[in-house]
Amino acid sequence: MSFAAVVVAAGAGLRAGPGEPKVWRTLGERPIIRWSVEGLLSAGAAEVVVVVARERLGQVDEALAGLEGWRAVTGGRTRADSVQAGLAAITAARTQPVLVHDAARPFVARAHVDRLLAALDVADGAVPALPVPDTLKRGEGLVDETVPREGLYRAQTPQAFRFGRLKAAYRRWPTGEEPTDDSSVMERAGGRVAMVPGDPMLMKLTYPEDFLLAEQLAASRRIVRTGLGVDAHRFGPGNVVWLCGIRIEHELGLVGHSDADVGLHALTDAVLGAIGEGDIGEHFPPSDPRWKGASSDQFLRHAVSLLARQGGRILNADLTLVCERPKVRPHRQAMRQRIADLLGVGVERVSVKATTTEGMGFTGREEGLMAQAVVSVETPP
What is the domain range of residue 353?
A: 223-379
pLDDT of residue 14: 52
Separation of alpha carbons 31 and 182, rounded Å: 25
What is the pLDDT at residue 218?
A: 81
Among 298, 294, 305, residue whose Cα is nearest residue 344: 305
Same domain, 370 and 304: yes
pLDDT score at 12: 60
195 lies in the same domain as 60: yes
Same domain for 80 and 181: yes
Say yes or no: 56 and 104 in one domain.
Answer: yes
Classify the C-alpha dihedral 73-74-79-83 as positive or negative.
negative
Residues 374 and 233 in one domain: yes
Q: Are residues 49 and 175 in the same domain?
A: yes
Residues 198 and 252 in one domain: no
Strand bridging mode 246-249 / 240-243: antiparallel
Residues 39 and 138 in one domain: yes
- The count of structural domains within the chain is 2
Asked which of 190, 220, 250 is the last residue of a domain, the reply is 220
Size (the chain), residues: 381
181 contacts 129 by C-beta, under 8 angstroms? no
pLDDT at residue 19 in the model: 60
Q: At what angle do helices 262-274 and 297-309 cross, to 10 degrees?
A: 10
Whether residues 229 and 337 fall in one domain:
yes
Residues 262, 246: contact at Cβ < 8 Å? no
CATH number of the domain encompassing residue 55: 3.90.550.10
Q: Are 329 and 336 in contact (CB under 8 A)?
A: no
**297-309 vs 32-42: helix crossing angle, rounded to 10:** 90
Residue environment code for 96-122, b if the CB has 16+ CB neighbours within 10 A, otherwise e: bbbbbbbbbbbbbbeebbebbbebbee
Candidates 7, 1, 39; CA nearest to 121 is 1
What is the reported pLDDT for 380?
Answer: 73
DSSP 190-247: T--EEEEE--GGG----SHHHHHHHHHHHHHT-EEEEEEEEEEEEEES-SEEEETTEE
For 162-193, give the DSSP string: EHHHHHHHHHHSPTT---SSHHHHHHHTT--E
> Are 57 and 206 within one domain?
yes
Q: Which of 193, 220, 247 is the last residue of a domain?
A: 220
CATH no. for residue 304?
Answer: 3.30.1330.50
Check whether residue 164 and residue 234 sit in a common domain: no
Q: Which amino acid, 215?
A: E
Same structural domain, 184 and 214: yes
Task: Please tell me the predicted confidence (pLDDT) of residue 282.
Answer: 93
As averages over each run of 10 residues, the pLDDT of the chain (381 residues) reads 92 58 87 93 93 93 88 93 95 85 94 96 97 93 93 96 95 91 96 96 90 83 89 94 94 91 97 95 91 93 90 92 94 97 95 95 93 92 65
Q: 201, 220, 239: which is the final residue of a domain? A: 220
